[in-house]
Structure 1
Amino acid sequence: MDKSTLITKLSLKYGFILGAVLIVISLTLYFIDPFMLYTNFAMPFIILIVFIALLVFSGINIRKEIGGYWTFGEAFKSFLIIALILSITSVLYNVVLMKFIDPDLPAKAAAAIEDSQRAMMEKFGMASEQIDEAMTKAGNMEEKLAPTLKNSFTSFGVSIAMYAVLGLILAAILKKKEPVTFNTLPQQEA
């Protein structure tokens, strides 16, 4: 099997593993508190850090399994395949969750987000009129959370873009050139 095919195969494997981890984490958080991801500002950052660590782990393992060396392009290709799988998994999970498992989640989450934002603005001492104006500018949260085709494509695009940037950074960090070796044969005397 050539190196490019092996990279693709291993990237698919790790992409599906990370996709499964994404679903398990999301379901666990959903069962603990369905609104945690929407109202806890630290949670998305914690999940991002966990996924960066998992991507680094996956990248290092893929590099080891292909012989210990890969170019920037090979590493980026691998991370892009993983990103594609993670993005598709995330969008499909959200559609299934919000359309079939808990169709009321967008409305409930929107209300929880608005309450959380209102409480935060009150804590900062904003006047009631300022809070109302800020909430109006933010728009209808329920429409933004609803699993519509437009929202799904937007979510997919943002996810791919984020993972692509992350993939560029990780590919630059994890690339490893094969050392150049010189064949030193004894010189023949004339």
Structure 2
Amino acid sequence: MDKSALISKLSLKYGFILAAVSVVISLTLHFINPVMLYTNFALPFIILIIFIVLLVFVGITIRKEIGGYWTFGEAFKSFLIISLILALVAVLYNILLMTVIDPDLPSKAAAAIGDSQRAMMEKFGMASEQIDEALEKAGNMEEKLAPTFKNSITSFGVSLALYGVLSLILAVILKKKEPTTFNTFPTES
């Protein structure tokens, strides 16, 4: 198998493994508290850090499995394949979660987000009228969370853009050039 095909095969394998890990984490958090992911501001950043670490580990693993070296282009291709899988699975999982597993989640999450934002604004000393105005400007959160076609495509696009930037950064960091060997010719004495 040539190097490019091997990179694609390994990227698909690890992309689906990471997607499964993502779904397991999300389901676990959902069953602990369905709205925790929407109201705990630190949790998404913690999950992001975990996934960056996992992506670095996977990148190093793939690089080792293909011989220890890869160019920026090969690394970027690998991370892009993984990113496509993660983004697609995330959208499909979200649709399944909000239509089959917990159809009331958009309304529960929207209410929890509104309460959380209201509490934060009250903590900052905002007047009740200002809070109501700010929440009204934010728009209908339930509509934004509903798994509509438009929201799903938007979510996929945003995820892909973010993963794309992350893929570029990781490809730059994890590329490893094969050392150049020079042929030395014996000198005649």
**Same fold judged by TM-score > 0.5?**
yes
Partners of 1:50 and 1:93 lie apart in 2 by 19
Q: Which amino acid aligns with 1:126?
A: M
Query: How far 1:170 sits from its partner (Å)?
Result: 0.4
Amino acid across the alignment from 1:33: N
How far off its partner does 1:186 sit? 1.0
Counterparts of 1:109-188 in structure 2 under 5 Å? 109-188=109-188
- Matched with 1:22 is 22
Q: How far apart, CA to CA, are the structure 1 residues paired with 2:159 and 2:185? A: 53
Cα distance between partner residues in 1 of 2:30 and 2:187: 71
Question: What stretches of structure 1 of length at least 5 have no aligned partner?
Answer: none
C-alpha distance in 1, partners of 2:130/2:75? Answer: 48
Q: Which residue matches 1:8?
A: 8
* Partner amino acid, structure 2, of 1:58: V
TM-score, L = length of structure 1: 0.98
Cα deviation, residue 187, structure 1: 3.0
| 1:82-117 deviation digits (Å, cap 9, x = unpaired) | 000000010000000000111111001100000000
Quote the sequence identity (%): 80
Q: Could you report, residue by residue, the CA deviation over 1:114-170 in whole angstroms, capped at 9, with x for unpaired residues?
A: 000000000010011110110011000000000000000000000000000000000
Matched, 1:36 2:36: yes
**2-side partners of 1:34 and 1:88: how far apart?**
22
- Which amino acid letter does the alignment assign opposite residue 38 of structure 2? Y
Q: How many residues align?
A: 189
Encode CA deviations 1:19-61: one digit per residue, 9 max, x unaligned: 0000000000001100010000000000000000000000000
For residue 68 of structure 1, give the secondary structure of its aligned residue in structure 2.
coil
For 2:120 and 2:174, locate their aligned partners in 1 and report how far apart those are by CA, in whole Å.
40
CA distance in 1, matches of 2:178, 2:35: 48
- CA shift, 1:185, in A, is 2.3
| 2:97 match | 97
Q: How large is the Cα RMSD of the aligned pairs?
A: 0.7
Partner SS, residue 20 of structure 2 = helix
Runs (4+) off by over 2 Å: none
Match for 1:87: what amino acid? A
